[in-house]
Amino acid sequence: MKSADRGILSEHDLKKTSNKFVYGIMVFFILVMVFTMLYPILMTMFNGLKSNAEVNSFPPHFFPQEWHFSNLKDALNYIDLLMFLRNTLYIFVGNMIVTLIVLGLASFSISRMNVPYRKVFYFFFLMTLFIPATSYMIPNFVNLKELGLLNQYAAFWLPAGANTFYFLLLKNFFDGIHPEIFEAARIDGASEPRSFFSIAVPLSVPIFATLAIFIFSTAWNDWFWPSLVMHTEDKYTLATAIYKYVIAVKALNTNIKFAILFLVSLPPILVFLLFQKFIMRGVSLSAVKG
Give residue-wise pLDDT tens across range 130-154: 888 888 888 889 988 998 888 899 8
Write down the pLDDT at residue 10: 65
- HSE (side-chain half, CA atoms, 13 Å) at 88: 24
| Mean pLDDT of all residues in 50-63 | 86
How far apart are alpha carbons 52 and 75 in whole angstroms? 13
| Mean pLDDT of all residues in 162-171 | 89
Check whether 288 has a pLDDT greater than 70: no
| Those residues with Cβ within 8 angstroms of residue 146's Cβ, 6 or more apart along the chain or in another chain | none
| Those residues with Cβ within 8 angstroms of residue 5's Cβ, 6 or more apart along the chain or in another chain | none
Write down the pLDDT at residue 180: 86
Q: What is the pTM assigned to this prediction?
A: 0.77
| Mean pLDDT of all residues in 149-165 | 89
Write down the pLDDT at residue 157: 92
Write out pLDDT tens, residues 222-251.
888 888 898 888 889 999 989 888 888 888
Q: b or e along 226-237 (b: 16 or more beta carbons within 10 Å of the residue's beta carbon)?
A: bbbbbeeeebbb
Per cent of the chain over pLDDT 90 is: 14
- Residue 287 confidence class, pLDDT cut points 50, 70, 90: very low
- Residue 285 confidence class, pLDDT cut points 50, 70, 90: low
- Residue 90 confidence class, pLDDT cut points 50, 70, 90: very high
